[in-house]
Chain A
Amino acid sequence: MEYKKIDKGSYNIHLIKTDNFKEVVVKIYLKKPIKREDITMRNILTDVLTYSTKTYNTNKLLNIREQELYASNITVNNYRFGNYLTTVFSIDILNDKYTEKGNAKEAIELLSEVMYNPDVESRRFNPKVVNIIKKDNKEYLERLKENTSLFSAIRLSEEMDKKRPSSLRMCGYLEDLKDINVTNLYKHYKDMIDNSMMDVYVVGDINFLEMEKIITTNFSSKVLKKKRIGFYLEEKKALRKPLIITEKDDHNQSKLTIGCRIKKLTKFEEQYVLPVYNLILGGSTGDSKLFKIIREKYSYAYYIYSSSYKLDHTLLIRAGISKENLKNVIRLVDDIMIEIKRGHLTEKDIKKSKAILLSNMNTVEENPYNVINMYYSIDTLGEDDIKTAKKMIKKVTKRDIIALAKKIKMDTIYCLEGDVS
């Protein structure tokens, strides 16, 4: 795997050459500090941009064009990366070797068309399209509560992190929709294109010179690079005693979300100790302490897991339970966290978690999206590359984990109570 970063002055191109894939994947990252008022607007905007373009001016025509290019698939994703609102345009193309010469180039041109040649007339987006997308988003937001697990996590963040970026609903706000129109949407579009920091990533069996040329012909940015705010949120102290909030809703299962705060970590703790700790506590396998005790020993839940958000300094624990077990589950989670702090964990627990993380690192190079994500973390957060990471993860000790456990504290507990018997 060969990596090359090209500084284009106003943006960077990152090229990764590998013959691991039959596909070529291009991802364009645009980022700006996040503001609440931008979120709903951005969601509408990216839906409008991928609905149709100036040349392919109906959704049907754009879909047919993607299909003609051997099912090249364009997607857009908006998410929060610490303090930043990030929009990523991606395309997944089958390498010309398996299609026909020039197919990949044409597919990248289509991605450029989606970004730079929208269906706009005199600085206004096509009103018909904007209306369709607004209605769609409205209905989506109206039924947000139907996804009880997601809703519980959203409500927890709002209660725990009032006014901080981490409390923002990335799905958007119903009340913001009515003020979005064809004109201010265009302004927002110009603002996104003109003022976002841009990074272009390409991975696949590519020729560096040729690809650099294709990218520079199709993408550009006007932003002068300057030091912006950091990615990490400001730290916040945990409450002395966790706050418990319950709300009722008409469904069967209660959805519990427990929010914990993490004190400032060192780079080593953040990249290596925190993932080990999280796996031991409630990581994705059926072998975590939360899973073993709350599900297997007490039968209180079908699912329970934890995930850490280093940029936000938080760790969330999520579970689906029966409401009569709420108090017991909270007490057990608390006990488990205290046990780890006290060092009640075996060398085996640590070894297992390291083995899983090492195995995950081994597979990064098998998926083009993971390869780009890895280089993005190296470039933005200054994380170690895989080779270094594989060595460093082995250095995590029991003492490191106990020290880290002491920096994690329960802060807010939210339960969306099911009320149907």
Chain B
Amino acid sequence: MKEIKLTGLDTSIFYEKLKNGLEVFLCPIKNKSSYTTMYVTKYGSDRIEFVPNGKKKKVRVPNGIAHFLEHKLFETEEGIDPFTFYAEQGSDANAFTNYDVTAYYFTGTTNYEENLAFLLKYVNTPYFTDENVAKEKGIIKEEINMGLDNPDRVLADTLRKNTYKNLPRKNNVIGSVKDIEKITKEDLYRCYSAFYQPSNMFIIATGNIDVKKAMEIIHHNFDGITSYPVPKKIDYKEDLTVAKAKDEIKMNVQIPKVGMAFKTKTEDYPIKNEVELDYYLYMIIAVVLGRSSDYYEEIVENNIALSFGTFSETVDGFKTLYVYATTKEPDKFIKTFEKYTKNIEISTDDFNRYKKIWIANLVRSYENVDNAADSIFMDIVRYNKIIDNKLKIIKGLNKKDLDRVIKKLNLSNKVVLKMVNKDY
């Protein structure tokens, strides 16, 4: 076990990589009575095609299967329902699936060791039957319908669909009713044995935990368990062109919405350290589009949009920025965005103020048990390791490099999507 000290944060993460490849990150936090633990596989909705271990032919599984599998792992052969088990311990358990990972977690204040052992046990022992697979379809159908009634979600899903031509990121996480109808227990077992291998998984625990005892339980559950090779990621030969540059969808919305996606290639940027590059990109987004920007002021003062914002994602060599708004004047919104992103200049005052904010936020991120777990989780998903020197990186950000990134930022490669009322 190795101690990773987080510079300037008065916090350490205890790290161990087991022989079978499972990675463990334990972060005890003083003065807390609660804890949280996540058991994660680097398998999300993006992995719909793969060559199973020992086979030669690629298989294509239905969209939405990673999420379906997440639901089904709550089924156990002995009939002990994980929700019931955790409720009995006074704890809370749940899971989520996104494009990159599936995560199972619990939170609580007592009986930590039993809870940890149970988490590893139920995720490690799948139990799928024709009946329990059929039963789940009704539940997930309701979950899909709920999402279809949420215009913001439909907008975000459609934006991705129009951004990527080949990457599975073009599909949403949950799939359609038609997709999930096709799922069988054999599909589930096939995906499970391909991606729920220790070498493809990691554990994060934060808060009121005993590092030594937790490690013992993990060893007890994994010693002697080997890992099969996990299918390689497929190269989808995605290029910079977007799938559909302009589009309009109709939905039951009272006020139209607009979404934009800007697709850029990671390798086109001059900063090769990805953590630093991300900080520079966040800096540009924060200063140019954030709450204290001229852009923000113009939109708000002129009621151009009711609610608007940004999010960004990294996927297979691409960095994509998404911009969305609920607006009666979609074209005016787009024009305003273009006006402020044409010739980006960032003042030293703004640059230094944001560095100060990020330092404050970094201190806050290990204040709370859940935030600490999130912070570790995001590091692993984004960078495949703990970034232990964030404070130093933030302090070291400089205007010269920022200007180099700005110079290479190309926002011409874009998707524009409008959502209007059905009756328009």
Smallest CB-CB separation from A291: which chain B residue? B83
B267 CB within 8 Å of chain A = no
Q: How many residues of B contact A (CB 8 A)?
A: 63
Do residues A146 and B151 form an inter-chain contact, with CB atoms below 8 A? Answer: yes
Known: A145-B254, A320-B146. A139 touches B363 (CB 8 A): no
Interfacial chain A residues near B89, Cβ < 8 Å: 355
B32 CB–A CB distance under 8 Å: yes
Closest to A355 in B: B90
Interface mask (A53-76 → B, CB under 8 Å = 1, otherwise 0) = 000001110011001101100000
Q: Do A139 and B306 form a contact, CB below 8 Å, given A253-B149, A299-B135, A355-B87?
A: yes
**Hey, which chain B residues are within 8 Å of A145, CB to CB?**
254
Q: Is B124 an interface residue (CB 8 A)?
A: no
Q: Which residues does chain A contribute within 8 Å of B140, judged by CB atoms? A: 302
By the criterion CB–CB under 8 Å, are A299 and B253 in contact? no
Q: Is the CB of A366 within 8 A of B369?
A: yes
Query: Which residue from B31, B143, B146 sits with its C-beta under 8 Å from A20?
Result: B31
B142 near A: Cβ within 8 Å? yes
The answer on a CB contact under 8 Å between B109 and A59 is no
Q: Residue B87 contacts which of A139, A285, A296, A365 (CB distance < 8 angstroms)?
A: A285
Asked if A194 is an interface residue, CB under 8 A from chain B, the answer is no
Which residue of chain B has its CB nearest to the CB of A299? B138
Whether the pair B88, A60 counts as a contact (CB closer than 8 A) is no
Bound form: Cα–Cα A135–B304 in Å: 10
Which residues of chain A are within 8 angstroms of B357 by Cβ–Cβ distance?
Answer: 67, 70-71
Question: B142 contacts A302, CB within 8 Å?
Answer: yes
B306→A285 contact, CB < 8 A = no
Q: Which residue of B lies closest to A279 (CB)?
A: B87
Contact mask B274-307 → A, CB, 8 Å, 1/0?
Answer: 0000000000000000011110110011010010
Residue of B nearest to A143 (CB): B254
A67 CA / B138 CA spacing, docked (Å): 47
- Which residues does chain A contribute within 8 Å of B306, judged by CB atoms? 136, 139-140, 143
**CB-based nearest A residue for B85:** A287
Given contacts A132-B301, A358-B90, A366-B368, contact A252 B361 (CB under 8 A): no
B167: min CB distance to chain A, Å: 27
With beta carbons under 8 angstroms apart, the residue of B87, B136, B361 that contacts A299 is B136
Cα of A63 to Cα of B353 in the assembled complex, Å? 12
Inter-chain CA distance A353–B89, complex, in Å, is: 10
Contacts of A365 in B (CB 8 A): 33
Q: Once the chains are docked, how many angstroms separate the CA of A163 from the CA of B411?
A: 54
Contact with B along A65-96 (1 / 0, CB 8 A): 00110110000000000000000000000100
B33 and A136 contact, CB distance less than 8 A: no
Residues of A within 8 A of B32 (CB): 366
CA of A382 to CA of B139 in the docked complex: distance in angstroms?
42
Contact in complex: A366, B83 (CB < 8 Å): no
CB within 8 A of A252: which of B109, B138, B149? Answer: B149
In angstroms, how far is the closest chain A Cβ from the Cβ of B172? 15
Are A94 and B253 within 8 A (Cβ)?
no
A148 touches which one: B90, B149, B354 (CB < 8 A)? B149
Residues of A within 8 A of B91 (CB): 356, 359
Given known pairs A23-B367, A286-B93, the reply for A303 and B360 (CB within 8 Å) is no
User: A63–B291 contact, CB under 8 A?
Assistant: yes
| Contact status B109-A320, CB under 8 Å | no
Residue A281 CB within 8 A of the other chain: no
Inter-subunit contact B33/A363 (CB<8 Å): yes
B-side contacts of A303, CB under 8 Å: 142, 146
Tell me the chain B residues, 24-61 only, with Cβ under 8 Å from chain A.
Answer: 31-34
Closest to B110 in A: A359
| Most A-side CB within 10 Å, residue of B93, B110, B296, B363 | B363
**Contact indicator A302/B34 (Cβ below 8 Å):** no
Given contacts A139-B326, A300-B138, A418-B145, whether A132 and B303 have CB atoms under 8 Å apart is yes
Q: Does B226 reach chain A (CB closer than 8 Å)?
A: no
Contact across chains for A250 and B422 when beta carbons are under 8 A apart:
yes
Q: Known contacts A136-B303, A295-B139, A355-B87; is A366 also within 8 Å of B297 by CB?
A: no
A38 within 8 A of B: no
User: Measured between alpha carbons, how far is A180 from B3 in the docked complex, in Å?
Assistant: 60
Q: For B93, list chain A residues within 8 Å (CB).
A: 286
CA distance A187 to B345 in the complex (A): 44
Q: How far is the CA of A372 from the CA of B33 in the complex (A)?
A: 18
State how many angstroms separate the Cβ of A259 from the closest Cβ of chain B: 21
B364 within 8 A of A: yes
Which 10 residue pairs of A and B lie closest in terms of their CB atoms, listed nearest first?
A299-B138, A355-B90, A286-B83, A359-B90, A287-B87, A302-B142, A302-B143, A362-B109, A70-B360, A143-B254
Q: A20-B31, A67-B357 are in contact. List 5 more A-B contacts (CB 8 A).
A: A140-B306, A286-B94, A299-B135, A348-B88, A366-B32
Question: Which B residues fall within an 8 A CB radius of A?
Answer: 31-34, 74, 81, 83-84, 86-94, 108-110, 135-143, 145-146, 148-149, 151, 252-255, 291-294, 296-297, 300-301, 303, 306, 326, 328, 353-354, 356-357, 359-361, 363-364, 367-369, 422
Q: Could you give 12 example pairs across A and B, Cβ below 8 Å? A: A59-B297, A68-B356, A70-B357, A70-B360, A99-B360, A139-B255, A286-B74, A286-B94, A303-B142, A322-B142, A363-B109, A418-B149
